Structure 1
Amino acid sequence: MKRLFYSSKPMPGAPRRREGGFTLVESMVVIAISAILVGLAAPSMRKLIERNGVNESLDSLTSSLAFARAEAIKRGFPVIVCRSTGAETNTPTCSSNLAWNTGWLVFADFDSDGGFDSSKDDVLLRVQGSLEKNGTLQQTSASYQSLLFRPTGTLRFATSFALTSPSDPSSAARVVCISVGGRGRVASGECGS
């Protein structure tokens, strides 16, 4: 006669099945190896994040400068790029702050006073907010507060900007060199003549 129901209990004397899963020792070995690998990868990951932050600041600056030059040529009026500590507020103004990583403004200076004032018909073209988490961005000539692009796209003076990473502010990671012709280029060290 055939049995219709089977018992889930093993029969006496039958070999026992091994249950699936990991032992505590196996789990601890996997955790230890994972911790070692994370410890090895963390420093290089931090440098990668900092390098990406410096590149973000570099891209923001070079695109704003190229935009300001193009707008000066297109509009036939001076366009100014000035640093601003309140670039993200409702009433942004130019600042005499030495660091450019607090943000900057790009505006058409129709009243030719060198400062942004929307009540005097100046037109705000672009606003860059703070990039302070990406390190320091400083103009090499501290006496210059803003860059004035003439209607021909030229500047009165050549200048450069030094970008430094947050972990090593003593050395310049990248340098943006801007010629009197208004064109910028990126250098790893200093701007050559």
Structure 2
Amino acid sequence: MPLKSKRNNQSGFTLIELMITIVILAIIVTIGIPSFRNIIVSNSVAFDRDEFFSLVTFARSEAIKRGTGVTICKSANGTTCTDSLSWNQGWLAFHDVDGDGVKDSGDQPVRTLGALDAQVSMSHGGGANRITFDSRGLLLRGQGLITFSHSAGSQFDRAVDIGVTGRASKG
């Protein structure tokens, strides 16, 4: 009887193959994680800027549609305007019947938005505490460049520019 040779048919990875795979994975993770973080930071700033842009364009269209002034002010609670707050604390848009930029008892809220992401700050280049549109959608107060910045650096800055005509644009 001839002897049959036994073949050792084992499948799997060798130690060298496993080590090479781990090194390649480490390189990919080292390169990818900072890029992924930058995407998250950039999206956070863009989201807050887009929320504010949406509020501004909505307030202008409401002013035109309703035929009354609409004002956007700083508001932490969504019911009262407070000039001492920063723009980061939140916003309130309301029908400003007399167009004075002050929320009177008869002025109805239109929309509110809460505070920005804790790492994002907002500054109004014109220094305005309120943005007011008249019944034709023209800007009465609040013209200027509004910048959204992240604590991670200025490369993530985004902006909303509100022109004299009341039109807002993203930058």
TM-score by length of 1: 0.75
Q: For residue 155 of structure 1, what is the aligned residue in structure 2?
A: 139
Structure 1 pair 49–97 and aligned structure 2 pair: CA distance change class (3 A): farther
Q: Which has the higher strand share?
A: 2
CA distance in structure 2 between the partners assigned to 1:14 and 1:78 by the alignment: 94
CA distance in structure 1 between the partners assigned to 2:15 and 2:111 by the alignment: 59
Task: Give the 5 Å matches for 1:62-101.
Answer: 62-87=53-78, 92-97=79-84, 99-101=86-88
Structure 1 pair 75–167 and aligned structure 2 pair: CA distance change class (3 A): same
Q: Deviations over 1:10-38 (max 9, x none)?
A: xx742223222223443232122111111
Task: Give the 5 Å matches for 1:109-124.
Answer: 109-110=96-97, 114-116=101-103, 120-124=105-109
Q: Does the alignment pair 1:145 with 2:132?
A: no
TM-score by length of 2: 0.83
Q: How much has 1:41 moved relative to structure 2?
A: 1.4
**Is the CA contact (8 Å cut-off) linking 1:100 and 1:138 kept in structure 2?**
yes
Identity %: 35
Q: Secondary structure at the match of 2:161?
A: strand
CA distance in structure 2 between the partners assigned to 1:56 and 1:24 by the alignment: 46
Q: For residue 150 of structure 2, what is the aligned residue in structure 1?
A: 165
Q: 1:131 aligns with which of 116, 129, 139?
A: 116
CA distance in structure 2 between the partners assigned to 1:122 and 1:28 by the alignment: 69
- Structure 1 or 2, whichever has the larger Rg, is 1
Q: CA RMSD in A?
A: 2.6
Q: How many residue pairs get matched? A: 169
Q: For residue 26 of structure 1, what is the aligned residue in structure 2?
A: 17
**Is the CA contact (8 Å cut-off) linking 1:165 and 1:173 kept in structure 2?**
yes
Q: For residue 90 of structure 2, what is the aligned residue in structure 1?
A: 103
**Is the CA contact (8 Å cut-off) linking 1:85 and 1:97 kept in structure 2?**
no
**Is the CA contact (8 Å cut-off) linking 1:105 and 1:128 kept in structure 2?**
yes
Q: For residue 6 of structure 1, what is the aligned residue in structure 2?
A: none
Q: Secondary structure at the match of 1:69?
A: helix
Q: Secondary structure at the match of 2:153?
A: coil
CA distance in structure 1 between the partners assigned to 2:29 and 2:110 by the alignment: 45
CA distance in structure 1 between the partners assigned to 2:27 and 2:131 by the alignment: 50
CA distance in structure 1 between the partners assigned to 2:163 and 2:99 by the alignment: 22
Q: Deviations over 1:67-95 (max 9, x none)?
A: 101111111211111122234xxxx3222
Q: Secondary structure at the match of 1:101?
A: helix
Q: 1:175 aligns with which of 131, 156, 159?
A: 159
Provide structure 2 residue ranges, at least 5 long, that are not aligned to the other structure: none
